[in-house]
Each structure stands twice: as C-alpha cells, then as structure tokens.
Amino acid sequence: MKQIACLLLSLFVVSGVAAQHNETDMDALFIKKIHAQALNDGRCYEWLTQLTTVAPGRLAGSPAAAAAVEYTRFILDTLGLDTVWLQPCIVPYWVRGDKEQVRIVNSRKMGSIELRALALGNSLGTGPQGLTAEVVEVRSLSEVDSLGRKGVEGKIVFYNRPMDPTSVNTFAAYGGAVDQRGAGAGRASKYGAVGVLVRSMTTRIDHIPHTGGMSYPPDVKPIPAIAISTADAELLSAVLREEPVRVYMRSTSQMMPDQLTHNVIGEIRGSEFPDEIILVGGHLDSWDVGGGAHDDGAGCVHSMEVLRILLQTGYRPKRTIRCVLFANEENGLVGGRTYARISNEKEEYHLAAIESDRGGFTPRGFTFEADESVFTQKFRQVTQWLPLLEPYGLQFRKGGSGADIGPLKSQKGLLIGFEPDTQRYFDFHHAPNDNIDAVNKRELELGAATMASLVYLLDKYGL
C-alpha cells in the first residue's frame, strides 16, 4: 500500500508540473498573439498622428484640450467597449500670449543677441513693455540664498545648472535639475529679483527652448520666468564671464479663469471579478508649444490600444480593464486627483494601475510601487511572470509609477510605470519638436503590446 501511495503521489506531482508547463506555454503563445496584433494591425500610430494634428498644444482648459477630449472619446466609442464616459474636472488655465523676446542688450564685444526662449507654464508675464536688467548667474537655489538681497535685488537671476549628462538614468538627471525651473522664480523674488531665466531641461546642446511648469509661493511677488535654449544658456554664461550683461525680456503670459475639462474613460467590464479594476492610462494634456506626441500622446494611445488589442484577440477579461486619459497633469494634476477622489467615494478597488508617461520609445520594462504594507508580496508575485516577458527585452524593477495614478496608492493595489528607453526623451520633453515625426511607429506599437501583455497576466492570475 505504501508503494502504491508513493506512486500516486509521484503521478500527482508530475501531472501538476506538466499542467503548470502547459499553462506557461499557453501564456507565452497568447503574449505572442498580442504582439502580432499590435505589430500587424496596430492603430496607435494612426491615432497619435490624428491627435497631434487635430489637437496639438492641448494645455488643459484650452480649445485644443477640448478637441482632444472629443477625439479620444470618439475613438473609444468605436472600439466596442462596455462603457465610455467623461469625468468633469475644473482646471487652471494659463495662456502664453505673444511670442517671447529675450536678448542680450549692447554687449561690448558682441552687440545685441537674440536668445531662443519660452515662458514657463503658469508664469506671470513682464507686461507689454518688457523689462531690462542686469543678469546674475547661479547654479542652485541655495546660491540665491547666499547672494541674498544685496546680490539679487533688481536683477534677472539666470539659473544655469545643467542636467547631469553622466547619469544613465535621464529621469534622475531631470530630477536633479528641475527644482530651478519649478521653484526658481519664487526663490529669486524673495530677494527682490525682477525676473528669472532658466536653462532648458535637456541634456542636448541645441537651439530649442523647453517650457514646463512652475509655481510661486503664496508669500512672494510673482515675477516673470522664461526658459532659454541650452545653446543660448552656454552663450549667455560665456558672455557673463567676460563682462557684465544686461538682458531685455518680454512676455505677456497670464493665468485666466479656471475652465471645465474632462478625464476620458472607457472600460471592458470584468466577467468574473468586475469590482477589481486594472487601469491603463496616460495624460491627455500637453504643453502648448508642440504636438505633445511623446508627452503624453504616446501614453494615451498606448492605453487605448491595450483595450483594442484584448478585444481583437478575443480575450474576455475576468477583471474590469479601464482606460483613463487624465486631464491637467502638466500644470496641476487635477485630473488624477479628481479621478482618485471619485474612485474612493465609490469605494472602488484598483488591483493595479499602469501609467505610460515616459514617451513612445522602445520598451524596456516596468517600475513598481505600492503601499508598504502590500508591496513586497505583490511585487514578488509579478516577478514570477518575468520569464514570459524577458524574451521581449523587458525587466521589472522597484521605482515610481506615474503622477496621475499616484493618488490611488491608498487603495493598496500595485502602481506600475511603463518604462521605455529614455535616452532621447528629454530631447523632446515640453518642446516645440515633440511632434509625430519624433515617434517611431514600431517602437510605439511595441509599447502598447508590452502593456497589454502585463494587463493580460494581471487579469488572468490576479494578485
């Protein structure tokens, strides 16, 4: 009897291992099917071309943003989803006004020199007459503190700390420099400066200025803040080493009354666990100076394409798969906060949320975060699926997810950032050249397939 029992146990173990291998083979075949659908019959590049043509410069609250809402809602309506709806948001609305002017005035060696410039988002303008003042160059906010009122009052503060070109992680390099853009004007105004110039946030040395968000502390006088191209920042710095420099700057940007816009949402209802939501999303708004192709039209069409791919492959999700195109990531995060607030009021549970907001380049993997109480267990589980995705050049690592989905962390699901190759991302970030011709069709399609593959595994196995 003992021998028979051992034999039965052995057969049970062998059959279990065989079943597991069979399941893995089925998953690998379906992930291959997902990629075939994306690469043979993808729609995301076509959608992105239309989005950047119909609604370029779709800053939240603008007519272009309204056009983007209508276009993406129309596309979602054509996919055969269970539900498509708009979620209202009241957002700040900033307008750039006239083309900015920045120039070095009457340099002894070089005369007057025009500098390529873009006002920073949410910045107050100079007014129609502009202003002229002496320039003082700094590398950090703390250097402004050291100079104090004596060194800064009545001057234009020029922030010229580059993104670290030696950092392989370009987002880390961005994080190490962007404080001067976001907080530089407020810090300079504290000591009586009349304006600020900021080196554009890119590792490239070129003549393309990059805009981006900034804000003022409530206790300081708003002063104009304008970004200049990296090549012009190098030039201005070189002239300052030779002689005192005065600069003329003019912008007419201003904040307008808040506007109504919308998050755009569509979903496939789960067949077994409809109350467990897997979200895919990007932010629909972009800065007003380019097409917003990589930032973040790519993330929006990635997310829309995930739902289309699953439907086209005949897959019926167990859980609810929801696409959310968020409003107002660039200068307020109102869309993400509104979505999380309403979700919490409804007592929803997001099993997982994936945001694509790092461009449409070649997929490299995903980054993961969650509430500390659940992260270890959930991350351990998803890493078991990595062998299925490694053949596609993908990796998993701990790290941030996305600004729009961050407010969902309290629901204790897994928050995931789609991570493409980022070496070229800041060549286009917040700049006039972020247009469809900067996006490679195949890379974009691979991104959608990568996200759909992870959604499939999350839906099939849960957490």
Domains in the chain: boundaries: 33-94+257-461, 97-252
Q: Which of 247, 256, 241 is nearest to 228 (CA)?
A: 247
Residue 273 region, left (φ>0) first, then alpha (ψ -120 to 50), else beta?
A: beta
DSSP string for residues in 97-163: -SPPEEEEEEETTTEEEEE-EEEPBTPPP--TT-EEEEEEEESSHHHHHHHHHHHHTTSEEEE-PPP
Q: What is the pLDDT of residue 87?
A: 98
Q: What is the pLDDT of residue 355?
A: 98
Q: What pairing do the DSSP bridges indicate for beta strands 246-250 and 254-268? A: unpaired
Catalytic residues: 329
Could you tell me the strand order of the sheet in which 111-115 lies?
Answer: 111-115, 101-107, 246-250, 131-138, 156-159, 195-199, 225-228, 117-119
Give the C-alpha distances (Å, rounded to integers) separating 86 from 265, 269, 357.
Answer: 6, 17, 21
Give me 126's structure tokens.
């100079």
Residue 400 β-bridge partners: none
CA torsion angle 281 286 292 296 (round to 10): -20
With 0-12 / 13-18 / 19 or more C-beta atoms within 10 angstroms meaning exposed / middle / buried, residue 62 is: buried
Long-range contacts from 239-242, C-beta under 8 angstroms, 24+ separation:
239/104, 239/107, 239/109, 239/110, 239/113, 240/135, 240/137, 240/158, 242/109
Q: What is the pLDDT of residue 158?
A: 98
Question: pLDDT of the chain along its 463 residues, tens only?
Answer: 666 655 555 545 445 555 566 878 999 999 999 999 999 999 999 999 999 999 999 999 999 999 999 999 999 999 999 999 999 999 999 999 999 999 999 999 889 999 999 999 999 999 999 999 999 999 999 999 999 999 999 999 999 999 999 999 999 999 999 999 999 999 999 999 999 999 999 999 999 999 999 999 999 999 999 999 999 999 999 999 999 999 999 999 999 999 999 999 999 999 999 999 999 999 999 999 999 999 999 999 999 999 999 999 999 999 999 999 999 999 999 999 999 999 999 999 999 999 999 999 999 999 999 999 999 999 999 999 999 999 999 999 999 999 999 999 999 999 999 999 999 999 999 999 999 999 999 999 999 999 999 999 999 999 9
Q: Which of 338, 343, 309 is nearest to 326 (CA)?
A: 338
Q: How far apart are CA 153 and CA 132, in angstroms?
A: 13
- CA 229 from chain center: how many Å? 21
Class of domain 97-252: alpha beta
Q: How far apart are CA 429 and CA 357, in angstroms?
A: 11
Number of neighbouring beta carbons within 10 Å of residue 99: 11
Q: How far apart are CA 412 and CA 351, in angstroms?
A: 8
Cβ neighbors of 278 (< 8 A, separation 6 or more) are 317, 319, 320, 321, 322, 350, 351, 352, 353, 354, 455, 458, 459
Tell me how far apart the terminal alpha carbons of the chain are, to the nearest angstrom. Answer: 40
Q: How far apart are CA 413 and CA 352, in angstroms?
A: 5
Cβ proximity of 205 and 427 under 8 Å: no
The owner of tokens 């009457």 is 106
Q: What is the pLDDT of residue 9?
A: 52
Q: What pairing do the DSSP bridges indicate for beta strands 246-250 and 195-199? A: unpaired
Residue 328 region, left (φ>0) first, then alpha (ψ -120 to 50), else beta?
A: left
8-state DSSP, 433: T
- CA 289 from chain center: how many Å? 16
3-state secondary structure of 18: helix
Give me 303's structure tokens.
């997310």
Domain spanning 33-94+257-461: which superfamily? Zn peptidases (3.40.630.10)
The owner of tokens 């409804």 is 346
Beta strands (DSSP E) in 272-421 are 273-283, 319-326, 349-355, 363-369, 395-398, 414-420
Q: How far apart are CA 189 and CA 354, in angstroms?
A: 39
Residue 250 β-bridge partners: 101
- CA 415 from chain center: how many Å? 15
Q: What is the pLDDT of residue 6?
A: 56
